[in-house]
Amino acid sequence: MNAPLTIRDLRVTFDGFTAVDGVDLDIRPGDLRFLIGPNGAGKTTLVDAVTGLAPATGSVRFGDHELLGRPVHRVARLGIGRTFQTATVFEQLTVLQNLDIAAGAGRPVRTLLRQRRNIPDEVAAALETTGLTAHRDRPAGELAHGQKQWLEIGMLLVQNVRLLLLDEPVAGMSHAEREATGALLRRIAADRTVVVIEHDMDFLRAVARSVTVLHAGRVLSEGTVAEVRADPRVQEVYLGEPVVTAPAGSEA
């Protein structure tokens, strides 16, 4: 079951430094939300707090479940999964084995690498969705950079993750890989919720359904791509200078 993500007054403090400073966020099921903001805005820390990796105060609810205070594996069990800036796949194992292990999270370790006669349905579906079917028997270490990221997303899909939180998924990708990733995220968001931390504005314009801009740990702006781009506060943060409307009668 998919569910809304509801964040209220989220705060994360490191040794007296407040990295996330009272964030409210509502992400409806099926959204493809981009989380942007300058370096140090608190984007990764926010995702860390949602996934149980950073201690936080406030409230993060996924449907009826409060996430704050749950250990990482219990957040994951609710159908919430994330990727990191660097892909974390098992390089020596094949694409299929990586997916099989992810799908078998919870199975006894000794059975995970056993050759299986049939490919489980969810693994076949993830291969198809991520475009990796033809590469299923290749060691993950041989994959191109983009393909590794797609494999990592596939590893979330086989776990039936309903809310995917992706940290800079197109960093270092070629133009063609970015386009393929955009199409992949749209396919995934058809029946799941996707939150993407991203710096790439072209990618955002092409793919985002909604955008939240963080700055200094707070929500600076929120809306559609067009609304956020037109917001003078966002322009100020990104361009480094205030976009002021000259007072009537003054020289421009």
Q: Which residues bind ligand ATP (CB under 6 A)?
A: 14, 17, 19, 37, 39-45
CB of 127 to ligand ATP, least distance (A): 30
CB of 87 to ligand ATP, least distance (A): 16
Pick 45 or 181: Cβ nearer ligand ATP: 45
Q: Which residue in the block uniquely carries the two structure tokens 């994330």? A: 82
Pick 19 or 96: Cβ nearer ligand ATP: 19
CB of 30 to ligand ATP, least distance (A): 25
Pick 3 or 204: Cβ nearer ligand ATP: 204
3-state SS, one letter per residue, for the chain = CCCCEEEEEEEEEECCEEEEEEEEEEECCCCEEEEECCCCCCHHHHHHHHCCCCCCEEEEEECCEECCCCCHHHHHHCCEEEECCCCCCCCCCEHHHHHHHHHCECECHHHHCCCCCCCCHHHHHHHHHHCCHHHCCCEHHHCCHHHHHHHHHHHHHCCCCCEEEEECCCCCCCHHHHHHHHHHHHHHCCCCEEEEECCCHHHHHHHCCEEEEEECCEEEEEECHHHHHHCHHHHHHHHCCCCCCCCCCCCC
Pick 17 or 190: Cβ nearer ligand ATP: 17
* Cα angle, residue 59 at apex, residues 56 and 64 outer, rounded to 5°: 135
Pick 15 or 64: Cβ nearer ligand ATP: 15
Q: Which residue in the block uniquely carries the two structure tokens 């860390």? A: 48
CB of 3 to ligand ATP, least distance (A): 24
CB of 38 to ligand ATP, least distance (A): 7
Judge residue 50's burial from the number of C-beta atoms within 10 Å of its C-beta, 0-12 exposed, 13-18 middle, 19 or more buried.
buried
As given in the structure block, the two tokens for residue 244 are: 């002021």
Pick 43 or 162: Cβ nearer ligand ATP: 43
As given in the structure block, the two tokens for residue 131 are: 């475009």
CB of 51 to ligand ATP, least distance (A): 13
CB of 216 to ligand ATP, least distance (A): 9
